[in-house]
Amino acid sequence: MTILLNSLEARDAAFVLHPYTNASQHLQDGPLVISKGEGIYIIDSEGNKYIEGLGGLFCASLGFSEQRLVDAAMRQMQELPFYHSFGGKSHETAIELAERLIRLAPVPMSKVFFANSGSEANDTALKLVWYYHNAIGKPEKKKVISRWRAYHGVTIASASLTGLPNNHRDFDLPIDGVLHTDCPEYYRYGLSGETEEEFATRCAVSLENLILAEGPDTIGAFFAEPLMASGGCIVPPPTYYDKIQAVLRKYDILLIADEVICGFGRLGTMFGSESFGMQPDMISMAKQLSAAYQPISALMVNEKVHAAIVAESAKIGTFGHGFTYSGHPVATAVALETLKIYEERDIVGHVRNVAPLFQRRLRALAEHPLVGSARGRGLIGTLELVRNKETKEPFRPTDGVATHAGKRAQAHGVVTRAIGDNYSLCPPLVITETQINDMFDRSEKALDDTYAWVRASNLYS
């Protein structure tokens, strides 16, 4: 039987299974089909133009029409469209990109391992935690600690590291050996009368108690995003990482910094680790590494970890890990050109210049009747929508208030993403002050629409 489908929307609903989408609802609503990109804007199949308020998925740092990246991909496709890095093979753009990343690293790093997504980079980091401790003769030191509301990816291992319920529910996750400790969000978890520094101390004490309960000789690593983006743009309080790292050093536990979202200028520093004084042993990165023009990720490891890899692979006869597309020539060429653009145009400096306006507009919305907390840093921020501003009582999950706000934003020409109760903004790094004001003006209209809908729907009763 031939199925006749007369629109892209109908064909999508018929054949495509979407990530992070209500599959049942999608069969009714269909997709928003995007046809073109221009700077910070995207244009749908009907010609409607939107500000991409989430930079795609926290990744389109240079917008959607950077010709230099298109040209870099074309040149590489014509010269060497593919080769692998197995068995000691290499090529020029992978070598040059690795050199540049090591020079940019916020702390001394030794080697770069390439993969294709943030999930793969974090999955690799977990495997290396296990490999490293086997190599140094501590085979019991294999458990790893992440945090509730963390986001580290969707592979079996990285989704286990993730601390969000919907990434575990009905997937039979997390796997054994992955533990979670406190989320460092002062607004939601700080106690009455507790200062931010006291809250940071309590988080560190809680981490140490977990380590002691499990046995320090069984804990191999701690995974942390400098700023927890997908969990609700959670900015750890001052002194948090100082206190956490003191605990990790006390028990000889590796620190892995997940820079998949924070890396390459998002917070006004090249890496988020610089913003918070982190001293990681490994750093994972993806997304803005190529401005999202090609799928690529990387994991940097320090010499302590690298030396153990060398010793263990000598014993085994190989380092038995890798992906067909690790260090793909086109992806590394585009990433390399992206880093050159960041440097030549001083993208980090631009973020520092426009971020104060972004953060002022964000925090002004804390006065809105729907908003309990407005938080962020650099060019990323979240508005946490609450039922009661005084008590911080959230809406019921079934109310779908943030989802409704996202739909109203789209109606006003801003594409963003509702994550739980959070209305999040993370625009391309090239956004101007005029565009920032436009984005927030439209977002404020979306919040006003949503507030009217909440009242009309009796969600306060």
Q: 172-214: per-residue pLDDT in tens?
A: 999 999 999 999 999 999 999 999 999 999 999 999 999 999 9
Nearby residues of 77 by Cβ (< 8 Å), 6 or more positions away? 330
Q: What are the distances in angstroms from CA 220 to CA 138, 207, 251, 425?
A: 9, 13, 9, 34
For the stretch 156-182, pLDDT in tens is: 999 999 999 999 999 999 999 999 999
Which pair of tokens denotes residue 254?
């590796």
Q: Please give the average per-residue pLDDT across 274-282, as a whole number.
A: 97
pLDDT of residue 50 exceeding 70, the answer is yes
Listed by start position, the domains of the chain span 32-65+346-456, 69-344
pLDDT of residue 4 exceeding 70, the answer is no
For the stretch 104-145, pLDDT in tens is: 999 999 999 999 999 999 999 999 999 999 999 999 999 999
Q: Please give the average per-residue pLDDT across 375-395, as a whole number.
A: 96
Closest CA to 162 of 115, 122, 129, 130: 122
Q: 403 falls in which pLDDT band (50, 70, 90)?
A: very high
Dist. CA 439–CA 55, nearest whole Å: 12
Dist. CA 290–CA 335, nearest whole Å: 4
Closest CA to 244 of 261, 225, 229: 225
For the stretch 221-242, pLDDT in tens is: 999 999 999 999 999 999 999 9
Dist. CA 43–CA 241, nearest whole Å: 41
- Would you say the CATH fold of 69-344 matches that of 32-65+346-456? no
Decide which of 3.60.10.10, 3.40.50.970, 3.90.1150.10, 2.60.40.1120 is the CATH code for 32-65+346-456.
3.90.1150.10
How many C-beta atoms surround the C-beta of residue 452 within 10 A?
11
pLDDT of residue 99 exceeding 50, the answer is yes
Q: What are the distances in angstroms from CA 318 to CA 37, 130, 447?
A: 44, 16, 56
How many C-beta atoms surround the C-beta of residue 136 within 10 A?
16
Taking CA 329 as the corner, what is the angle to CA 57 and CA 34, rounded to the nearest 5 degrees? 30
For the stretch 315-326, pLDDT in tens is: 999 999 999 999
Bond prior to 428 in cis (omega within 30° of 0): no
Q: What are the distances in angstroms from CA 9 to CA 27, 120, 407, 415?
A: 10, 31, 17, 18
Q: 359 falls in which pLDDT band (50, 70, 90)?
A: very high
Specify the pTM: 0.95
User: Tell me, what's the pLDDT at 2?
Assistant: 45
Which pair of tokens denotes residue 172?
């039979």
Decide which of 3.40.190.10, 3.40.50.2300, 3.40.640.10, 3.10.580.10 is the CATH code for 69-344.
3.40.640.10
Q: Is 78 exposed, middle or buried (0-12, 13-18, 19+ CB in 10 A)?
A: exposed
